[in-house]
Amino acid sequence: MTEKLTWDEIKQRYPDEWVALVDYDWPAEDEVKAGVVFAHSASRSSLLEMEKGLKRAAVLFTGERSLEPLLFVADVDRKI
pLDDT, tens digit, 9 for 90 and up, residues 2-44: 899 999 999 999 999 999 899 899 887 788 899 999 999 998 8
| Type of residue found at 31 | E
Q: Which residues contact 20 (CB under 8 A, 6 or more apart)?
A: 37, 38, 39, 40, 47, 50, 51, 54, 57, 58, 59
pLDDT, position 79:
46
Q: pTM for the full model?
A: 0.74
Task: Tell me if residue 18 falls in helix, strand or coil.
Answer: strand
Count CB neighbours of 21 within 10 A.
25
Quote the CA–CA distance of 35 and 10 in Å, as a whole number. 8
- 50 compared with 39, residue with greater pLDDT: 39
